Amino acid sequence: MKQQRCARLETRDRQPVNLMGVSLSGDLRGLMFEASVEQRFCNPSDENVEVVYSFPLPWGAVLMGVDVVLGDKHLTGAVTEKKQAEARYEEALSEGNAAIMLEKHRDHSYSLNLGNLAAGEHCTITLRYAQTLEFEQRGLRLLIPTVIAPRYGDAQKDGGFLPHQVPSHSLQADYPFELELRLHGDLTQARVASPSHPVGVVHGKSSSGDVLTVTLARQSSLDRDFVLVLDLLANDSLAVAARDCVEPDSVVVLASFCPRIRAEGVASTAVKILVDCSGSMAGDSIAAAKRALQAIVKKLGAGDRFSLSRFGGTVEHRARGMWKATETTKLAAQRWVGALQADLGGTEMEAALSSTLPWPRRSAATSCW
């Protein structure tokens, strides 16, 4: 039988710490989402280890707290100056005690140091975070990142990681994943769907009112981000109220509005299309990109403007300007898309964006196509 690699943390000397499972529980009230992510690990070695656990949060999320259980020890932390925290952490380790130290990086990711995880000992890390969603096309879109994958750029130079904090990655690892989301108030009347995972939806009651519970319909893994889409909302505004934790006699209200503004005439669109044609796009990826681009070009109408560029190790622009969408330019664009190949070497994304974004929105003669 082929042995499948499991997800894991690694110690500073590359000893494995196996990931036993991940479960997420969250509540969405109005546009306020609160989540608790529990990740369970085990030290399979025969000696005590120090573990460095690096993790991201969703865009715009705020870390509310971290709880760590090492065997029968429950560890929590307090905010202190960095050098003082490092000294106290090292002192605890030198005395043989269990300790944790959390550090935030420049790219808004975090690293958690776990000291003295005993041989055969289990460890549970619980992250609690909150984020405020925004209306998108008169609905809501909740994204929960689950994929452990390399980040663009240099982790040490751009992200501020120390060498031992840089996470390793494996496309062969299997990360078990469980999820339960509870929607409250008017959101229980919305249409709910997930384009990323099959889900089950159950209506119920709680002490605070109606609840719509969303769970995964079958066993899943951390192989893609979880996306939940809510549309057909009952109202164009949402509000949530809670007692102020600082002043218990006060109440805090978060009110969000999605106004309906009547459009005057037909709005035109200016689109700059930049296609990844690096070697990693070979095969199904470049074929899917070409199908998507053909559909975009066909949708362009009178008054719209567009440009086409592709990049890899270098950047190639079809034209240095924004072009009017005419039958001639659209036909030429479709021919250009059809000829795309994944043949431009590496993925220099920053240079490609810097080269494409500053263009002026000027027109040009269609004969140049």
What would the pLDDT profile of 193-234 be if each residue is shown by its tens digit? 999 999 999 998 887 788 999 999 888 877 788 999 999 988
* CA 256/CA 236 separation, integer angstroms: 9
Q: If you average pLDDT over each of 153-157, 220-224, 312-316, which comes out highest? A: 312-316
DSSP string across 195-264:
SSS-EEEEEEEETTEEEEEEEESS-EESSS-EEEEEES-S-SEEEEEEE-SSSTT-EEEEEEE-------
CB 228 within 8 A of CB 194: yes
The percentage of the chain sitting over the pLDDT mark of 70, rounded to a whole number, equals 83
Strands (DSSP E) along 279-325, which ranges? Answer: 305-311, 315-317, 323-324
Helix (H) or strand (E) holding 63: strand 62-70
Same fold, 8-231 and 270-368: no
Please state the length of the chain. Answer: 369
In angstroms, rounded to a whole number, what is the distance separating the alpha carbons of residues 129 and 114? Answer: 20
What global pTM score does this model have? 0.68
Helix (H) or strand (E) holding 21: strand 16-29
Task: Give percent of the chain above pLDDT 90.
Answer: 33
CB contact burial 45-84 (16+ within 10 A = b; e otherwise): eeebbbbbbbbbbbeebeeeebbbebeeeebebeeeeeee
**Least confident window among 177-191, 242-256, 323-337:** 242-256
Cα–Cα dist 99/180, whole Å: 30
pLDDT tens digits for range 255-302: 888 888 776 766 788 899 999 999 989 988 899 999 999 999 999 988
pLDDT one-digit tens code per residue, 45-69: 788 877 777 777 888 888 888 888 8
Q: How many Cβ atoms from other residues are within 10 Å of residue 99's Cβ?
A: 21
As given in the structure block, the two tokens for residue 124 are: 């549970």
Query: Homologous superfamily of 8-231 in CATH?
Result: tricorn interacting facor f3 domain (2.60.40.1730)
Q: Of 28-32, 133-137, 146-150, 195-199, which gets the smallest average pLDDT? A: 146-150
Q: Which is nearest to 311 in space by CA: 268, 357, 244?
A: 357
Show me where the domains of the chain are located: 8-231, 270-368
Mean per-residue pLDDT for 332-343? 94
Q: Which of 42, 12, 44, 37 is closest to 23 using CA atoms?
A: 37
Which of the four pLDDT bands, split at 50, 70 and 90, describes residue 363? very low
Could you tell me if 204 and 157 are in contact, meaning their C-beta atoms sit under 8 angstroms apart?
no
Average pLDDT of every residue of the chain: 81
Q: Which two tokens stand for residue 199?
A: 């889900």
pLDDT, greater one: 360 or 319: 319
Q: Which of 358, 366, 270, 349 is nearest to 310 (CA)?
A: 349
Distance (Å, rounded) from C-alpha 307 to C-alpha 305?
7
* Residue whose entry in the numeric block shows the structure tokens 């690990």: 41
The owner of tokens 């939940």 is 228
The strand ranges marked E within 244-287 are 251-257, 270-276
Selection from 203, 219, 45 nearest residue 123 by Cα: 45
Tell me what pLDDT residue 150 has. Answer: 56
- For 270-368, the fitting CATH number among 1.20.1630.10, 2.60.40.2230, 3.40.50.410, 3.40.50.510 is 3.40.50.410
For the chain, what is the total number of helices (H) and then of strands (E)? Answer: 4, 23
